Amino acid sequence: MSKMLEDRVVIITGGARGIGKEVAGLFVSEGAKAVICDVNPQDLENSQKDLSANGAEVMALQIDVTKADQVEDMVNKTLDKFGKIDILINNAGITRDALLMRMKESDWDAVLNVNLKGTFNCIKAVMRPMMKQRKGKIVNIASIIGLMGNAGQANYAASKGGVIALTKTAAKELASRNVNVNAIAPGFIQTEMTKKLPEASKEAMLKLIPTGKFGQPLDVAKTALFLASELSDYITGEVIKVDGGMVM
Ligand code: NDP
């Protein structure tokens, strides 16, 4: 059977660990050439080594998605090395949780900057080459929190709700150039991000998940593969929940 992403070039932000690294691993196993970017140099280096162990072409770039000039540099380096960009996975994200009463302005700004502005910066930088080649797939990693809200996560919820609105707008603007823009809204996925939550909130969360278990990064990666492949050519502006039925 031929591979689903043979020779496709993908950029994955926040690719040093967690969901981003898993997406990169699945995509290269399906024949893609990957560019992983992250702010965390040590994890980035380890991720690059792991991902290229079986001969896959993986370029690692230390960049901060909040900085438009660094994002442009990433796109130029990708074009220099691989000649095109077929897929962008906007995955870099952070949390700075606090109740609204106690949320600092700096926590609001940091989360909005990485999660929402970072996604905007990356879409903006890849859209020209994608529009020119009349082909592209953009997948934004949002969150079910962006759909339902969550006490203690006003900044995160607003950023992810913003990502969903941005997804739909970009989908409308780019559809005529054959560039699909979709979002994934994961529920509770077991990564470093969720490891730091208190046990009591994890137990309470589990009771709300009909399948009775937390999700794994691979659950999100498989949905990203579907949205990045030809299987989803007639889908754009969609938000797919990967949450074990938590939000229906
Ligand atoms: P992780 O924290 O494990 O990984 C996120 C990666 O993004 C980290 O390596 C992080 O680096 C990097 N990153 C942070 N800021 C920037 C930046 N400015 N520029 C480039 N890279 C950056 O998170 P997950 O894998 O769990 O999450 C991935 C995405 O999925 C996020 O967008 C998250 O919001 C979303 N998501 C996750 C859920 C979950 O349950 N885990 C649920 C719903 C959505 P560093 O280590 O230095 O911070």
pLDDT score for 36: 98
Domain extents in the chain: 9-238
pLDDT tens digits along 64-80 = 999 999 999 999 999 99
Backbone angles phi, psi at 37, to 5 degrees: -130, 150
Question: Taking the mean position of all CA atoms in its chain, how far away is CA 158?
Answer: 16
Q: Please give the structure tokens belonging to residue 239.
A: 């938000």
pLDDT score for 2: 87
pTM: 0.98
Backbone angles phi, psi at 141, to 5 degrees: -90, 105
Backbone angles phi, psi at 186, to 5 degrees: -75, 155
Active site residues: 156
What's the N-to-C CA distance of the chain in angstroms? 35
pLDDT score for 86: 98
pLDDT score for 4: 97
User: Would you say 95 and 20 are in contact if contact means Cβ atoms under 8 Å apart?
Assistant: no
Ligand 1 binding pocket includes 43 (Cβ within 6 Å): yes
Q: Please give the structure tokens belonging to residue 23.
A: 């997406």
Ligand 1 binding pocket includes 189 (Cβ within 6 Å): yes
Find tokens 């040093």 and name the residue.
16
User: Which homologous superfamily is 9-238 in?
Assistant: NAD(P)-binding Rossmann-like Domain (3.40.50.720)
Q: Please give the structure tokens belonging to residue 9.
A: 């070039």
pLDDT score for 78: 98
Atom nearest to 43 CA in ligand 1: 9
d(CA 229, ligand 1 centre) in Å? 23
pLDDT score for 27: 98
Atom nearest to 95 CA in ligand 1: 34
pLDDT score for 240: 99
pLDDT score for 196: 87
pLDDT beneath 50: ranges in the chain: none
Ligand 1 binding pocket includes 91 (Cβ within 6 Å): yes
pLDDT score for 45: 97
Ligand 1 binding pocket includes 188 (Cβ within 6 Å): yes
